[in-house]
A and B are shown apart, each in its own frame.
Chain A
Amino acid sequence: MSNQDSYKNTEVIQASLKKRYAREKRFQWYGRLAVLTGFAFLFILLFDIVSKGYPAFTQQYIQLSVDFDADRLGVEPGASSEALYQADYLGVVKASLRQMFPEASGRQEKRQLYRLISIGAEYQLRDYVIDNPQVIGKTQDIWLMAHSEAGAYLKGQVTREIPETDRRVKDTQMQWLDSLAQQGRTESRFNTLFFSTGDSREPELAGIKAALYGSFFTLLVTFLLAFPIGVFAAVYLEEFAPRNRLTDLIEININNLAAVPSIVFGLLGLAVFINFFELPRSAPLVGGIVLSLMTLPTIIITSRAAIQSVSPSIRQAALGVGASPLQTVFHHVLPVAMPGILTGSIIGMAQALGESAPLLMIGMVAFIMDVPGGVTDPATVLPVQIFLWADSPERGFMEKTSAAIMVLMGFLIVMNALAIYLRKRFELK
């Protein structure tokens, strides 16, 4: 080996260095690009949902001067509230629309005119008249809910640029709406109905209250089953289980269950709880049981980790002063492990809240208008409600879907934030 050789080597290396550094730079950029891609996907997803969903939180109202003519309503002045309940409010709405726009002629145009106002207006007027019976015979300006298509125009989601054949709001309707807007007879309000009603065939009347209650009852059943069973199972496996084949079998099973597709749990629920035990279909009871089977592995695995991380000195101290093994666990180990266990359970519950596939199997896809009153009433849950609305062709439902997604994500964010907060506090100790 001469000096010259090694000098030559250095030269070769020197010459290749530029290329190697360039490659290094490039590689780093690939990494940054990958992270950025992930961010971009997340941003697009959230932006898409929010931009589609926020209009659903407002509802357009149209002010009509309604003539509460007793003849048209078909009631006597001073009628009982039962008679008022039966009165013809739709006719009154139609008459006042005709009065405001006398130019509407022909069946088609009149029908278009009536479609400016939601069919829910009928019930709105009914409640109003029952509360204020003295209005009968008088004319009064009243704000009524706009039809979802008319509302879409007022919100600016549908414009004249779209060819008339491609939109549900026709040119004549737009003219009427414009003139109403000029007279200050249109208004946008916060949509409280969205949080206070169940499902409906009309987008402007559909709300998430029934689905929220359904989710609540389902999660209640899930929590009551999965939390104690999961924690007890974790305690047994960590503290008492002998090392034998049965324990191994149980552990393998738990790990595999964590990876079983959720829809298979739905098949189990259908075959066992609905068909064999004949429990009620579409009920939060069955939904909750199925979801608890699904979240059990999560809760067991995280609870075990939390119990494992409790320092052995606590156990030894308790045993040393004469506590029995069970007392040691329940009086000393579990309280210390509880924040960790709760963190895992909340994450499991958040998973269960967002889950919909197994619930489709057990019939929780019904059209539910009424708020369920218990765990055996037919119900649907928020994610399934989202699924149902996403299938509806009306554009009004699209914004409802996005808005429901926003509500669902809001709940998930709160739950996860709680879990993170608990974990942080736990780590500080």
Chain B
Amino acid sequence: MQTSTVFLVLIALTFVSFIAGRKRSHKVAMAMGEGGMSLLHSLPKHYGYMAGLWAALPALLLLVLWVGFEPRVIHKLVVEELPVAVQQLPHSELGLYYNQIVSYASGSSDADLLDQAQVSAADHYLELKSTSGVMKALLVALVAVIGGVLAVQRVTPALRARNHVESICKWILFACSFIAVLITLGIVLSVLFEALRFFQTIPLTDFLFGLQWSPQMAIRIDQVAASGSFGFVPLLVGTLLISMVAMVIAVPVGLMSAIYLSEYASRRFRAVTKPVLEILAGVPTVVYGFFAALTVAPFIRNLGESLGLTVASESALAAGIVMGIMIIPFVMSLSDDIINAVPDTMREASLGMGATMNETIRKVLIPAALPGIVGGILLAVSRAIGETMIVVMAAGLSAKLTANPLEAVTTITVQIVTLLVGDQEFDSPKTLAAFALGLVLFFVTLLLNVVALYVVRKYREQYE
């Protein structure tokens, strides 16, 4: 049975339980004689909520777990029935073999592509699937009914139904906020787990200190270790190069805009200008990527050629400039917050001594705000390092160890995308390398953020 149907049935059962719980509370109250309603601890609807929650929650949990694990379990059962020769295939080929079965079973490919074992396995698959569907529906309904009935039976005038419902609700609220921890845990574990498998084939030192990155060559596992082509240094250098170009654009423009808008500009000018500049932050990154690849890169290339320079068509400069444009509003609003946090007394003291506004800004405000500004810049750098679409569309693919922004370099995020997009086999070092890169990316950005947030907070406390 379809999951959506089961879900609708579950909703219906929940509703029935709610009605039953409410009715029962009426009944037990009336049984107490005249004025029995006032003897109920909670309102009748609370008894209804209680019954509804008891019907819905356990069954919903079961349904989610069932839907989550069903494909895995069926996969296992189908593979166990396959001929022994097939079962001993390498993991990736077995996966392909199984995918063919599934796509035939779901009717999206023809039988003539498959051998006899696959066709019978597909029948087996469909059979398991329908059994699982029926069992899912029955079990979920059963759990819902049991939950509802048990809750309804417990209804007595003394039952503190409201408190009961409220404590369940509080637990639900807690679970929702705990999801944040689960997400972080999920990220760390999934990336770490795959990265560790990668480091079993490629030594950690080769990865961290290797100067060569050419994962496309690593088709056979024995070849990898020999060529040592998973060196991470060129990617890091490329990432930092592009980020640096971005900062060269974003920091002066963002910081000066923030200073001008908070210290010089009239209230009206500021009210118009800030939202307009913040549009830059709302533009999707894929749009920036398109702009970088089709407008900025050819422009820079032509400009360079007319000056007699050789510029790669996917130069780090083009990607960096566009990334800088994207980060301008980010730097601007961070610096704006920080400059505004400097107490007015410091400004007024400096101005009162006869300093010009310019001198006040440069000799008083900026030194006072420096830690905060540095923190903001670190946050912006972490943004630039993690940015993906601009570099995927406008930066190069081949890793080159260079500090020349006119050449094409590649970045960590570009490599993650190129290693994983369109690749079905999941066990080659090539795909696992993407997870190792993801791990590095996660920890680098995490470190930058933690440091930056710490610096900014310390700075704020200083003036509070």
Contact = CB atoms under 8 A, between A and B. Distances in A.
A30 B174 contact: no
Most buried by A among B256, B289, B435: B256
B190 A357 contact: no
B170 interface: yes
Given A261-B387, A272-B190, A355 B284 contact: yes
B287 A34 contact: no
B413 A276 contact: no
B454 to A, nearest CB: 11
Interface string A288-306: 0000010011001000000
B356 A387 contact: no
Contacts of A129: none
Given A253-B180, A255-B453, A383 B284 contact: yes
Contact of A49 (B68, B291, B417): B291
Interface stretch (B18-26, B80-88, B150-158, B181-189): B181-189
Given A236-B176, A296-B180, A260 B446 contact: yes
A264 B441 contact: yes
A45 B416 contact: no
Contact of B180 (A52, A254, A401, A402): A254
Given A31-B264, A35-B257, A49-B287, A267 B453 contact: no
A197 interface: no
A27 B256 CA distance: 9
Given A261-B388, A357-B413, A31 B256 contact: yes
B256 A33 contact: yes
Interface string A120-154: 00000000000000000000000000000000000
A357 to B, nearest CB: 4
A397 to B, nearest CB: 11
B294 A263 contact: no
A92 interface: no
Interface in B293-343: 293-295, 325, 328-329, 332
Contacts of A192: none
Interface stretch (B53-61, B69-77, B114-122, B132-140): B69-77
B180 A240 contact: no
A240 B170 CA distance: 8
Contacts of B413: 261, 263, 357
A317 interface: no
Given A263-B388, A264-B438, A271 B445 contact: no
A324 interface: yes
Most buried by B among A27, A49, A259, A264: A264
B426 interface: yes
B276 A39 contact: yes
Contacts of A32: 260
Interface in B146-179: 162, 166, 169-170, 172-174, 176-179
A237 B170 CA distance: 11
Given A260-B442, A354-B285, A409-B287, A271 B277 contact: no
Given A24-B357, A32-B260, A365-B422, A390 B293 contact: yes
A142 to B, nearest CB: 36
Contacts of B435: 267, 271
A314 interface: no
Contact of B187 (A228, A265, A297): A265
Contacts of A230: 176
Nearest to B280: A42
Interface of B is mostly: helix
Contact of B260 (A24, A34, A257): A34
Interface string A273-293: 001111100000000000001
Contacts of B422: 365
A383 B177 contact: no
B379 interface: yes
A278 B71 contact: yes
Contact of A261 (B172, B265, B283, B386): B386
B287 A405 contact: yes
Interface string B400-421: 0000000000000100110011
B388 A390 contact: no
Interface residues of A, number: 86
A79 B69 CA distance: 53
A190 interface: no
A7 interface: no
A267 B191 CA distance: 7
A378 B169 CA distance: 36
A263 B417 contact: yes
Nearest to B98: A278
A42 B434 CA distance: 34
B291 A271 contact: no
Contact of B284 (A253, A300, A412): A412
Contacts of A356: 284-286, 389
Nearest to A354: B284
A249 B181 contact: yes
B72 to A, nearest CB: 6
Interface in A67-113: none
A408 interface: yes
Interface in B416-464: 416-417, 420-422, 426, 434-435, 438, 441-442, 445-446, 449-450, 453
Interface of B: 68-69, 71-72, 75, 162, 166, 169-170, 172-174, 176-181, 183-184, 186-187, 190-191, 193-194, 252-257, 259-261, 264-265, 273, 276-277, 279-280, 282-291, 293-295, 325, 328-329, 332, 356-359, 361-362, 379, 382-383, 385-389, 392-393, 413, 416-417, 420-422, 426, 434-435, 438, 441-442, 445-446, 449-450, 453
8 contacts: A34-B256, A34-B260, A45-B325, A235-B173, A257-B183, A264-B438, A354-B287, A360-B420
Given A263-B441, A277-B72, 9 more contacts: A33-B256, A49-B291, A233-B179, A259-B445, A326-B166, A354-B285, A361-B416, A361-B420, A390-B289
Interface of A: 20-21, 23-24, 27-28, 30-35, 37-39, 41-42, 45, 48-49, 52, 228-230, 232-237, 240-241, 249-250, 253-257, 259-265, 267-268, 270-272, 275-279, 293, 296-297, 300, 324-326, 350, 353-357, 360-361, 365, 383-384, 386-387, 390-391, 398, 401-402, 405, 408-409, 412, 416
